[in-house]
Amino acid sequence: MNNLPLVIENLTFQYRRRSEPAIEKINFSLQPGQVMLIAGSSGCGKTTLMRCINGLIPHSYQGEMSGDIRLFGESVVGMGLSTISQTVGTLLQDPERQILGSYVLNEVAFGLESLGISREEITPRVERALARLGIQHLRDRETFGTSGGEKQKIALAGVLAMEPRILLLDEPLASLDPASAQEALQAFRMLADEGIAVMIVEHRVEDVLSIHPDIFMYLDDGKMTYLGGTEGLMDVVDYRRIKLPARVVLERARQDPAPVFIPAIRPEVKTETLVQFEGVHFRYNEDGPEVLKNLNFNINAGDVIAILGHNGSGKTTMVKHTLGLLKPTEGRVLLEGLETRKMTVAQAAHTVGYVFQSPSQMLFAPTVREELSFGPKNLEFTEDIITQNVEWAIDTVNLKSEMEMPPLALSFGQQKRISIAAILAMRSRILMMDEPTAGQDYWNYQAFMDAILQMPGFDAVLFITHDVDLAVIYANRILLVYNGEIAADGKPQEVLKDEKLLRSCRVLPTSLLKLNMEYLPQTGRFYRAETLAHLQS
């Protein structure tokens, strides 16, 4: 027992500015080679538990901690971060906060260099880590020019190069395309088979189940409500908060009252063209590779567009052109008939609201209230309108209790919702969101997506996502992007039925998509599993 990788006894932690414990009386142990999946709704204490294990609590986050944590029989009390990091490797939720190096090779080698390991040993360890994740082609790239998903892989490679004996993964799939997510999961299972103890915090429960975790922990409001094999999780997990396989949800939802159906497509669809891409090409450097290649498409009023595609396909680069954050190398982008080359970003912001993939790129104000007020003030809204917009936005993302908190003191999932609310408060005509569901439990992301799509004011909504189910439930149009080109553009029922095309673009069909395709002849459109359950009955 004393030599187990991890033993936690009666662990409780309360942040200094909080009135209630974030986690309370947590007890479990982890053996070599085991994979543990930890799930729970946003804010339930998952990340706090990770911080206690890797030493960020109490070294970086202050509060009151009781109980005991032992790594291979040794208590972490009094143990320095550098000592803990040689045993425990951590992948943070937001890779932007983990990447320090200018070049990929330097970044992956950074931890090893910090430990004073010789270059002769560093080089093969870095190469092994890059190969394990299939990103050798990124080896000599500048980190700032990589996509969010590529940054996630780079950060993970840096962790793997350290060869930790315990691996903590906080939402490791959040920024990965479906095929990359499966490859990463297989890598995690392989690491466990080599004797590493692996803990995965993840909202994409269905994906992690594919590698058959040995232990499942369910946290609710800081308390451990289930610890055991995955065979028991289907009965204890609230399917409204944690997304389970579609057929499981179908069967469980049939036992409950029918949900109120909220259509994703607003009934009044207009035909006005808001944005035009005309022969758009783009490269970041004059002699660099072409990231966008001859894009031609329009965004029209009434569109709810899901943008799908592999990591590094150009999705974010494309969307940034709409706001004028990037200008085409060739071709042009028209926003309400005006070329973005002739507009400032501030002018474009009156029409387009853009939620960045990483909330740390957006948040800066001392309180959530000031964060949400900043945009409307710059757009010169009246005080009454600012107050009204801020109240609506914070209610939409279900975080009213955090109004006076510093945004950067909140969890990643809460920061993501605050960044969305900050843009909602500006009430732009077009809302664009980059990975809006990253760090969100199923209930929260449904709640704010339902609210956004039902509120008047947004003429078009676009969201970049690796969550195919988000596209299934909410989109009325799919843009499938592959290597900087539009591989498909059309209704979800048409684009998503082509499994061969999806797989070639590293997009994998989900259980919900398969269920909807099975019933499409009767239903005529896609539904969430909870609604399908009662349409079938």
| Count of other CB atoms within 10 angstroms of residue 288 | 12
Contacts 24+ apart (CB under 8 A), 512-521: 512/246, 512/468, 512/469, 512/472, 512/473, 513/468, 513/469, 513/472, 514/246, 515/246, 515/247, 515/250, 516/472, 520/493
Whether residue 214 is contained in a domain is answered as yes
Last residue of a domain, one of 237, 261, 282: 237
Domain enclosing residue 396, as ranges: 273-492
Angle CA(244)–CA(245)–CA(251) in degrees, nearest 5?
90
> In this structure, are 436 and 375 located in the same domain?
yes
Nearest to residue 532, comparing CAs of 451, 472, 450? 472
pLDDT, position 268 = 47
Inter-residue contact 531 to 257 (CB < 8 Å): no
> In this structure, are 224 and 303 located in the same domain?
no
- Cα distance between residue 469 and residue 491, in whole Å: 14
> In this structure, are 154 and 66 located in the same domain?
yes
Whether residue 501 is contained in a domain is answered as no
Tokens representing 312 are: 């590094």
- Cα distance between residue 177 and residue 315, in whole Å: 12
Look at the alpha carbons of 55, 59, 62, 63 in this order and tell me if their dihedral is positive or negative.
positive
Whether residue 444 is contained in a domain is answered as yes
> In this structure, are 190 and 279 located in the same domain?
no
Inter-residue contact 348 to 428 (CB < 8 Å): no
Last residue of a domain, one of 460, 477, 492: 492
> In this structure, are 163 and 214 located in the same domain?
yes
- Cα distance between residue 188 and residue 179, in whole Å: 14
Inter-residue contact 126 to 69 (CB < 8 Å): no
Whether residue 345 is contained in a domain is answered as yes
> In this structure, are 306 and 411 located in the same domain?
yes
> In this structure, are 482 and 387 located in the same domain?
yes
Phi-psi category of residue 241: left, alpha or beta, with phi > 0 → left and psi -120 to 50 → alpha:
alpha
For residue 48, with 0-12 CB atoms within 10 Å meaning exposed, 13-18 middle and 19 or more buried, which class applies?
buried
Place of tokens 């085991």: 34
Number of domains in the chain: 2
> In this structure, are 332 and 459 located in the same domain?
yes
> In this structure, are 202 and 351 located in the same domain?
no
pLDDT, position 343 = 93
Residues 484-511 pLDDT 10s:
999 999 999 999 999 999 999 999 999 9
% helix, strand, coil for the chain, step of 5: 40, 25, 35
Inter-residue contact 140 to 105 (CB < 8 Å): yes
Q: Angle between the 511-523 and 529-536 helix axes, to the nearest 10 degrees?
A: 40
**Residue 355 CA from chain centroid, whole number:** 13
pLDDT, position 2 = 61
Phi, psi of 67 (to 5 degrees): 100, -170
- Cα distance between residue 388 and residue 100, in whole Å: 40
**Residue 27 CA from chain centroid, whole number:** 28
Last residue of a domain, one of 193, 220, 237: 237
- Cα distance between residue 157 and residue 53, in whole Å: 20
Inter-residue contact 454 to 262 (CB < 8 Å): yes
Whether residue 528 is contained in a domain is answered as no
pLDDT, position 350 = 86
> In this structure, are 230 and 367 located in the same domain?
no
Whether residue 267 is contained in a domain is answered as no
- Cα distance between residue 484 and residue 313, in whole Å: 5
> In this structure, are 148 and 233 located in the same domain?
yes
pLDDT-flagged residues of the chain (< 70): 1-2, 260-270, 456, 536-537
Whether residue 340 is contained in a domain is answered as yes
> In this structure, are 217 and 277 located in the same domain?
no
Full-model pTM: 0.86
CATH number for 190: 3.40.50.300
Whether residue 51 is contained in a domain is answered as yes
